[in-house]
Amino acid sequence: MAGREDLKDKKRIVIKIGSSSLTHQETGRINLSKMERLVRILTDLRNEGKDVILVSSGAIAVGKETLGLQNRPTEKVEKQACAAVGQARLMMVYQKLFAEYNQVPAQILMTKYTMINDISRENAQNTFQELFRMGVIPIVNENDTVTTDEIEFGDNDTLSAIVTALVNADLLILLSDIDGLYTDDPRQNAEAVFIDFVERIDDRLDSMAKDSSTLVGTGGMATKISAAKIATGSGADMIIANGEEINIINAIMAGEKKGTFFQAHRNENFKLLDYISTRQYSNK
Ligand SMILES: Nc1ncnc2c1ncn2[C@@H]1O[C@H](COP(=O)(O)OP(=O)(O)O)[C@@H](O)[C@H]1O
Ligand SMILES: N[C@@H](CCC(=O)OP(=O)(O)O)C(=O)O
């Protein structure tokens, strides 16, 4: 049975980095040195011949800081305005950093509509394929500025799993501000125990995963477990790991026991659209 020792052979990898990992915890401002190390590692994976996608959160968090807002926006229109400002700034930083390594990035902004509309979904899929062929690293985020309740994913954990399934990736890595899945939120319960391997996601596991208890994160562990269902069902392994030390990506690829490993179990009846049309979306 495939396990961590096979991770080095993965060909197509989606890496998702959360807002909490892209910003300094104390100030909420963008963590440039971490982004720099991330970009170097992604470029190296690409140089090894792997196809790489980065799903990057942070548009709202960076926009909030850029606009000098005191509190995290709560109104939808305010979040959308922050995302419009922050997304441009994020891409500017990524462009600059990738350029230092001669690596071309691209921006792909998606909504649920991109996936449920057959033509849009096929166009997105074709674009990803073409970008891989050209050696480009796509940077994906939700198109927060145009979403409505109906077409909103709401969290990038789910979005990254959907992208994983869409492009038939064989590995999804979710980088968060926590080492992986615990039996309960360790920020609320000191007795919570770390889980390093998940073969199957069952109801017990579902009930362990709680919402985010940080100021910048969206969805907490609950959306990461939803993501694991999609990614593993589509045939990809998934790992939740701590993005605090970004070199953890190399350690994971080398098969080291880092984070929580969710084993792929290709479901022959897997239908991506089932996970998009039936899920309830929040409008937080
Ligand atoms: N069972 C659990 N195990 C680990 N973390 C949990 C659990 N339940 C809730 N959490 C919370 O989920 C948070 C990570 O999610 P989130 O804040 O959305 O970060 P990100 O921006 O990386 O997506 C952790 O900091 C933790 O407080
Ligand atoms: N699309 C939003 C991020 C949504 C999200 O899932 O955030 P996070 O929990 O930090 O990964 C943004 O770029 O601000």
Over the range 168-181, which residues count as b (16 or more CB within 10 Å of their CB) and which as e?
Answer: ebbbbbbbbbbbbb
Regarding the beta carbon of 55 and ligand 1, being less than 6 Å apart is answered no
- 244 in ligand 1 pocket by Cβ < 6 Å? no
**Cβ contacts of 117 within 8 Å, gap of 6 or more:** none
Atom number in ligand 2 closest to CA 212 = 9
Nearest-5° angle of CA 31, CA 219, CA 137?
50
Ligand 1 pocket, residue 221 CB under 6 Å = yes
Query: pLDDT tens for residues 266-276?
Result: 788 888 888 88
pLDDT confidence band for 284 (50 / 70 / 90) = very low
Please provide the distance, in angstroms rounded to a whole number, between the alpha carbons at the two ends of the chain. 40
Give dist(CA 51, CA 11) in Å, integer.
6
Pocket test of ligand 2: the residue of 31, 142, 172, 281 to mutate, having most ligand atoms within 8 Å of its CB, is 142
Q: Is 139 in contact with 159 (CB distance < 8 Å)? A: no
Residue nearest to atom 5 of ligand 1 (CA): 185
| 76 is known to lie in a ligand binding site | no
Q: What is the DSSP letter of 150?
A: G
Banded model confidence at residue 10, pLDDT cuts 50, 70, 90: very high
For the record, the structure tokens of 192 come out as 């919570």
Beta partners for 171?
Answer: 13, 237
Residue 110 marked in a binding site:
no
> How far, in Å, CA of 77 to CA of 197, rounded?
40
Phi-psi region of 75 (alpha: psi -120 to 50; beta: other; left: phi over 0): beta
pLDDT(161) > 70: yes
What integer pLDDT is reported at residue 202 of this predicted model?
92
CATH fold for domain 8-277: Carbamate kinase (3.40.1160)
Which atom of ligand 2 has the smallest separation from the CA of 17? 11
Domain residue limits, the chain: 8-277
Q: Is the CB of 187 under 6 A from ligand 1?
A: yes
Could you tell me if 231 and 203 are in contact, meaning their C-beta atoms sit under 8 angstroms apart?
Answer: no
Residue 168 counted as an annotated binding residue: no
| Token pair for 259 | 């984070």
Decide: 57 in ligand 2 pocket, CB within 6 A.
yes
220 is in an annotated binding site: yes
For position 217, what pLDDT does the model report?
67
Q: Which ligand 1 atom minimizes the distance to the CA of 155?
A: 23
Residue at 3: amino acid letter: G
Which amino acid, one-letter code, is at 230? Answer: I
Q: How far does residue 178's CA lie from ligand 1's centre (Å)?
A: 6
pTM of the complete model: 0.95
109-123 pLDDT per residue, tens: 999 999 999 999 999
Whole-number Å distance, alpha carbon 25 to ligand 1 midpoint, is 14
Greater confidence (98 vs 270) lies with 98
Instruction: Please choose, from the candidates 44, 52, 226, 216, the residue with its C-alpha nearest in 3D space to the C-alpha of residue 131.
Output: 52
pLDDT of residue 189: 94
User: What is the per-residue pLDDT for 277?
Assistant: 59
pLDDT, tens digit, 9 for 90 and up, residues 187-244? 999 999 999 999 999 999 999 988 877 666 677 899 999 999 999 999 999 999 999 9
Per-residue pLDDT tens for 71-83?
A: 889 999 999 999 9
Q: Encode pLDDT of 26-72 as tens digits.
A: 898 999 999 999 999 999 999 999 999 999 999 999 999 999 999 88
Predicted local distance difference test score (pLDDT) of residue 1:
56
Structure tokens at 273: 């659209």
Residue 262 pLDDT = 98
Q: pLDDT for 166-194, tens place per residue?
A: 999 999 999 999 999 999 999 999 999 99
* Atom 4, ligand 2: residue with shortest CA distance: 155
- Is the CB of 144 within 6 Å of ligand 2? yes
Residue with tokens 């305005």: 81
Share of the chain above pLDDT 90, in %: 80
Residue-averaged pLDDT of the chain: 92
Question: Tokens at residue 153, please?
Answer: 């994913």
CA distance 220 to 181: 10
Judge whether residue 283 has pLDDT over 50: no
What atom of ligand 2 comes closest to residue 19's alpha carbon?
Answer: 10
Kindly indicate the confidence band of residue 282, based on its pLDDT and cuts at 50, 70 and 90. very low
Closest ligand 2 atom number to CA of residue 142: 1
For the chain, give me the number of helices (H) and strands (E)? 11, 8
